[in-house]
Amino acid sequence: MPWFPDFVAGAELARRDTVAAGRADPVAQYVTALMRGDAEPLETAWPGHIVVLDPYAGEVHGHRQLRHFFQTSRSFLAERLVDVERVASTHAGRRAVVELLAHLRLDGEPVTWPVAVVVQSVDDRSVTFRTYGSQWPVVGRRPIRAAILDPDPDAEPGDVVTRYLAALAAGDRDGVVQTFTADGYLREPIGSDALHRGTDELAEYFSQSFGAGGGIDYERCCVTDDDVRCALEYNCVRWGGSPVPAQACLIVFERDAGGLLAAARCYDDLEAPVGR
């Protein structure tokens, strides 16, 4: 039949469009798949191996696990999600970190849920998505998330970020605060009082954070840096005077034009061993 070749060509064109869209903005395609509960466009764009490392679902891979994960996620989001806002994107080579704000309605109340998605591909067929954020909106608590990446001695961000990390490990409140601009801020992973802006609020926050008898140690695992923002995937292994179980976390630092920190945005479920 004369129209059959055109039908095949149209299907191939649609497939190529899906692949192109996935390669251009894989996180947008990933979020759309979560909201629709449909893994097929993602599998079309990445016909090799897809791995999802999720705080709630754990490690997801293989067609059956992927489809179950997306269907389950859709059930949760369909009841609660209002919209998703993109905050920032940090790109370096074949890796990108996209920060999102998911606006939810839980028990009739509006909740803002910060989430970061790391997408990394080693070739044009396979991709890994690593999601970071608090599980409080999902399970109503902050469970320990075991490490998902190994420490990397080459994951050295440099400049003001390294100064921040050194002061943090030493429990040096003033040293940490001095890495921020006068109106810089740190945002905790979740909560209505999660934002600490300006020198006084930052000093109070870090004074309380160091109240457990010392600083906070990060095992650095992966750095994604585009000279404006630096996203650090790390394992927290010490808070205060005692070690803690290694926990997978991500923090995004945003620099100002003068090289200081305008922002630090945290994505994790760390429970401080001191009251704040």
195 plus 113 within the same structural domain: no
Q: Given this model, what pLDDT does residue 271 score?
A: 81
Total of domains in the chain: 2
CATH number, domain with residue 190: 3.10.450.50
Q: Given this model, what pLDDT does residue 7 score?
A: 42
Kindly report, residue by residue over 179-222, the tens digit of the pLDDT.
999 999 999 999 889 999 999 999 999 999 998 888 999 999 99
Is residue 151 a part of any domain in this protein?
Answer: no
120 plus 167 within the same structural domain: no
Hey, CA dihedral for 260, 99, 147, 196, is it positive or negative? positive
Q: Given this model, what pLDDT does residue 15 score?
A: 43
Is residue 204 a part of any domain in this protein?
Answer: yes
Pick the closest to residue 269 from 140, 106, 87 (CA basis).
140
User: Cα(206)–Cα(197) distance, rounded to whole angstroms?
Assistant: 12
Kindly report, residue by residue over 16-49, the tens digit of the pLDDT.
545 555 567 999 999 999 999 999 999 999 999 9
Residues of the domain holding 77: 4-139
109 plus 207 within the same structural domain: no
**pLDDT < 50 regions, the chain:** 1-4, 6-15, 17
Strands 127-132, 109-120: pairing is antiparallel
109 plus 177 within the same structural domain: no
20 plus 132 within the same structural domain: yes
Q: Given this model, what pLDDT does residue 23 score?
A: 66
Q: Given this model, what pLDDT does residue 275 score?
A: 55
